[in-house]
Amino acid sequence: MRKPVPHIVPLDNNKLRLSKPKKLAAGIPAVVSSSKHSLKKMGLTRTVKSLSMVNQKSGFDCPGCAWPDPENRTHFEFCENGAKAVADEATKSKVGRDFFKKFSLQDLASKSDFWLNDQGRIVEPLFLSKDSNNYEPISWDDALTKISDRLNALSTPDKAVFYTSGRTSNEAAFLYQAFIRSYGTNNLPDCSNMCHESSGKGLGSTIGIGKGTVKLEDFNHSDLILVIGQNPGTNHPRMLTALRDAKKRGSKIIHINPLPEAGLERFKHPQDYMSLDFKSTKLSDFHLQVKIGGDAALMKGLIKVHLESGGFDTEFIENSTTGFQSMCDNARETPWELIVRDSGVEKHLIEKVGVLCARSNATIACWAMGLTQHRNGVSVIQEVVNLLLLGGHVGRKGAGFCPVRGHSNVQGDRTVGIWEAPSDSFMDKMEQGLKISLPRKHGYDVVNSIKAMADSNVEVFFCMGGNFLSATPDTRFTANALSNVDLIVQVSTKLNRSHIVTGKEALILPCLGRTELDIQKSGKQFVSVENSMGIVHMSRGGLKPASELLRSEPWIVASLAAKTLKNSPIEWNELASSYDKIRDIMSESLHGFEDYNIRVREENGFYLPNPPRDSRTFQTDDGKAHFTTHDLPDVSVESDQYVMMTLRSHDQYNTTIYGLDDRYRGIKGNRRILMMNPLDMLERNWKTRQVIDITSHFEGEERTSGNWLVIPYEIPSGNIAAYFPEANELVPLDSTAEISNTPTSKWIICSLSETSNSDEEE
């Protein structure tokens, strides 16, 4: 029997240090922080080599985020956090076979996430046999045979589930979905289910495409930019450059967020130091400090003011939309008291910003997880759509929708088929290209995969990247669910908690990262990715791989497919020998990918078709853009309860913890903290560093997590915030957004109590 493996994330034993939150983002401290990090991890030669290739035309796409690159690139197209992501992958540290001999699963489980990631790159395939407590080396051939034997022995292909995290290239993702669907299932959950699924659903049904409609250039022509539920200073630092440039050209920027995030206060581009321009730019003109979940009410208020102030695009509304009247009636009927109470924003501020919306000739709305990870994630995005449609802000220069994507290729993965619920038109084209028939029954998304595992309906779980256990809700429940699975396979670069709290048997297949040279039979290969604005372009790594035993993701998928699908008409191994051959099939199998091999080689890549942006046309059922009508959601909680959001710190990439400091928020050395309004603390008679337990409440169920340190923070009364992934054990699995089924990681109803018998941190 395997000894029990605890799933709780142990703490790094560091002291909490607090300072005033920063108002200024980037600047010299960012340069210092990224250089220190890079030199420590990669050494000088690799640092210079790798950072000079990030986001360059002949280099690789930064694995940090999906923000697009400007056409006239400088030698500085990366940011502090992109540099950290590169250093993290290109690190010289390695975990070899001695490491896994020395550390059992139970030993590893007692280490923090920071420690696990810090050990370095995984360098050979590893197998954890049934009942064993240690991973052992295995050959590629034996590993792939184990997986294919298991897949072929299942009573139905639907007993296998295939997850994807959003770094996977277009080529690997396309091949992967072709393999999975040829094998016979649409069980293709992905990180998008927890991320921008609400954006896809909200936009798809109103403007006919589940993607944004702006180009980077549009920022320079906008009058007004709304940045809603997003922390670009940390998560999309290169976006601050676009905002700064827009600002210099006269655009107004409105920041809608429960927190005063640093980047949106003032911004200093590191490059300005080189041109001896020492001034920082004040970015946002207004910060509307909305309560968590208060955006629907706020949008309703802005729409109300807009309706009173005019500024409609009447011709557009009449000819190209439906639902205008009902939407307007609903907004007019919604009383101001309700809007002010639920949004937490004073009426005079809503009026000021509403008038700006009505006067603007070109408005862009940007958003991220602050909108999507809510029960009303889909409908609140549709309220943003309502607001912009009033003035016709779509398919017009300087205007449109900009859901800011997270993982660097999460949008591309969806475009090429990573989707548990593909449309018929997508599948028709795919069948035409692959020349085989594919299953049409929709598969499991992330939440439903976990439920299926809990019901012992999943026997093989394959993960193309990611850290499923830590990224998903309800860590305790999910850990138990995973332990029911017979075989879990993870294609990974670095060690994480999902390798430790895993299935009855487990395999780790180590792969090449973005930064590394990829050489196959026909020579050096490149891959392609799609950024947040629908541009598809090449990415080519240049560093020597961390080990000779690493394989590329396309090679891994193709080799597994060749072994598993004995009668497949597709020449899988041929495809892996030259990625041009994969791209040739993609041209035939995907809408918008004609002549892929030619167009992907263009200097700046190419734009995928986007009807609302390109021609103001809407591929909805009636060919029109839709205003939609939604009543305000119920955001009331009991008087002793708080609403919690889970956030990223400045020193992490999702579940990968680079360090323990959240520099802009002035929180250092400890991640198990709870940000709380100072008056709420006073009411409980709590001082800074009070040790508390948090209990979340959902439909009569309770989940408790102990030993959190309270700190005062500028957050609305009644709202609290903690870091992801530590707080995930409090997110109820069933608490998901309507329609998109995205876990409500920003809406967790909690009560707080003092931890008994605990010593306060000195």
Q: By the criterion CB under 5 A, which residues form the site for Mo ion?
A: 195, 406
458 binds, among Mo ion, ligand MGD, none (CB under 5 to 8 A by kind): none
Q: Which two tokens stand for residue 57?
A: 């035309």
* Intra-chain end-to-end CA distance of the chain, in Å: 41
Least distance between ligand MGD and beta carbon 461 (Å): 13
Stretch 203-232 residues interacting with ligand MGD (CB under 6 A)? 228-231
Least distance between Mo ion and beta carbon 166 (Å): 7
C-beta closer to ligand MGD: residue 222 or 515: 515
290 binds, among ligand MGD, Mo ion, none (CB under 5 to 8 A by kind): ligand MGD
Least distance between Mo ion and beta carbon 407 (Å): 6
Task: Please say whether the beta carbons of 548 and 522 come within 8 A.
Answer: no
DSSP secondary structure letters along 328-397: HHHHHHS-HHHHHHHH---HHHHHHHHHHHHH-SSEEEEE-HHHHSSTTHHHHHHHHHHHHHHTT-SSST
270 binds, among Mo ion, ligand MGD, none (CB under 5 to 8 A by kind): none
Beta strands in 293-337 (DSSP E): 321-322
Stretch 404-443 residues interacting with ligand MGD (CB under 6 A)? 406-407
C-beta closer to Mo ion: residue 51 or 727: 727
Closest-by-Cβ residue to ligand MGD is: 406
C-beta closer to ligand MGD: residue 61 or 459: 61
Piece of the chain touching ligand MGD by CB under 6 A; list 177-185, 254-262, 588-596, 673-681: 254-262
Contact status: 202 vs ligand MGD (CB under 6 A): no
What are the two backbone dihedrals, phi and then psi, of residue 288, each rounded to the nearest 5 degrees?
Answer: -90, 110
Task: Please say whether the beta carbons of 85 and 50 come within 8 A.
Answer: no
Dihedral over Cα of 171, 174, 180, 182: its sign: negative
Least distance between Mo ion and beta carbon 19 (Å): 28
For residue 424, the surrounding DSSP H or E stretch is helix 424-434
Of 413, 404, 503, 403, nearest to 465 by C-alpha is 413
3-state secondary structure of 711: strand
Contact status: 656 vs ligand MGD (CB under 6 A): yes
What is the separation of C-alpha 446 from the centre of its chain, rounded to a whole number of angstroms? 14
104 binds, among Mo ion, ligand MGD, none (CB under 5 to 8 A by kind): none
Contact status: 645 vs ligand MGD (CB under 6 A): yes
266-268: strand order across its sheet: 24-26, 266-268, 281-282
Least distance between ligand MGD and beta carbon 761 (Å): 24
Mask for 468-487, x = binds ligand MGD (CB under 6 A): x--x----------------
Phi-psi category of 746—alpha, beta or left, where left has phi over 0 and alpha has psi -120 to 50? alpha
Phi-psi category of 729—alpha, beta or left, where left has phi over 0 and alpha has psi -120 to 50? alpha
Contact status: 246 vs ligand MGD (CB under 6 A): no
- Please pick, from the candidates 91, 198, 235, 736, the single residue that binds ligand MGD as defined by CB under 6 A: 235
C-beta closer to Mo ion: residue 265 or 530: 530
3-state secondary structure of 365: strand
Contact status: 497 vs ligand MGD (CB under 6 A): no
CA angle 307, 310, 315 (to 5 degrees): 100
Alpha carbon distance 151, 459 (integer Å): 9
Piece of the chain touching ligand MGD by CB under 6 A; list 252-260, 541-549, 611-619, 659-667: 252-260
Piece of the chain touching ligand MGD by CB under 6 A; list 26-34, 129-137, 353-361, 654-662: 654-662
715 binds, among Mo ion, ligand MGD, none (CB under 5 to 8 A by kind): none
Torsion of CA 58, 62, 63, 67, to 10 degrees: -130
55 binds, among Mo ion, ligand MGD, none (CB under 5 to 8 A by kind): none
C-beta closer to ligand MGD: residue 208 or 412: 412
81 binds, among Mo ion, ligand MGD, none (CB under 5 to 8 A by kind): ligand MGD
Torsion of CA 231, 233, 238, 240, to 10 degrees: 90
Piece of the chain touching ligand MGD by CB under 6 A; list 276-284, 369-377, 475-483, 521-529: 369-377
Alpha carbon distance 227, 366 (integer Å): 5
C-beta closer to Mo ion: residue 392 or 406: 406
Alpha carbon distance 418, 186 (integer Å): 9
Mask for 548-587, x = binds ligand MGD (CB under 6 A): -----x----------------------------------
Mask for 294-313, x = binds ligand MGD (CB under 6 A): -x------------------
Contact status: 705 vs ligand MGD (CB under 6 A): no
286-288: strand order across its sheet: 286-288, 252-256, 224-228, 363-367, 400-403
DSSP secondary structure letters along 672-706: -EEEE-HHHHHHHTPPTT-EEEEEEEETTEEEEEE
Contact status: 81 vs ligand MGD (CB under 6 A): yes
606-607: strand order across its sheet: 527-530, 535-539, 606-607
Least distance between ligand MGD and beta carbon 155 (Å): 28
- Please pick, from the candidates 207, 350, 434, 464, the single residue that binds ligand MGD as defined by CB under 6 A: 464
- Please pick, from the candidates 65, 447, 452, 506, the single residue that binds ligand MGD as defined by CB under 6 A: 65
Contact status: 545 vs ligand MGD (CB under 6 A): no
For residue 506, the surrounding DSSP H or E stretch is strand 505-510
The DSSP secondary-structure symbol of 60 reads B
Alpha carbon distance 341, 352 (integer Å): 18
Contact status: 126 vs ligand MGD (CB under 6 A): no
Task: Please say whether the beta carbons of 562 and 574 come within 8 A.
Answer: no
Size of site (CB under 6 A) for ligand MGD: 61
Cα 460 to Cα 92, 418, 463, 478, distances in angstroms = 33, 18, 10, 15
Contact status: 194 vs ligand MGD (CB under 6 A): yes
Least distance between Mo ion and beta carbon 207 (Å): 22
Least distance between Mo ion and beta carbon 489 (Å): 22
Dihedral over Cα of 246, 248, 252, 255: its sign: positive
Least distance between ligand MGD and beta carbon 556 (Å): 9
733 binds, among ligand MGD, Mo ion, none (CB under 5 to 8 A by kind): none
DSSP secondary structure letters along 382-427: HHHHHHHHHTT-SSSTT-EEEE---STTHHHHHHTT--SS--HHHH
Q: Which residues bind ligand MGD (CB under 6 A)?
A: 64-65, 81, 165-167, 191, 194-195, 228-231, 234-236, 256-259, 261, 290, 292-293, 295, 368-370, 373, 406-407, 464-468, 471, 491-494, 496, 511, 513-514, 553, 645-648, 652-656, 724, 727-728, 731, 745-746
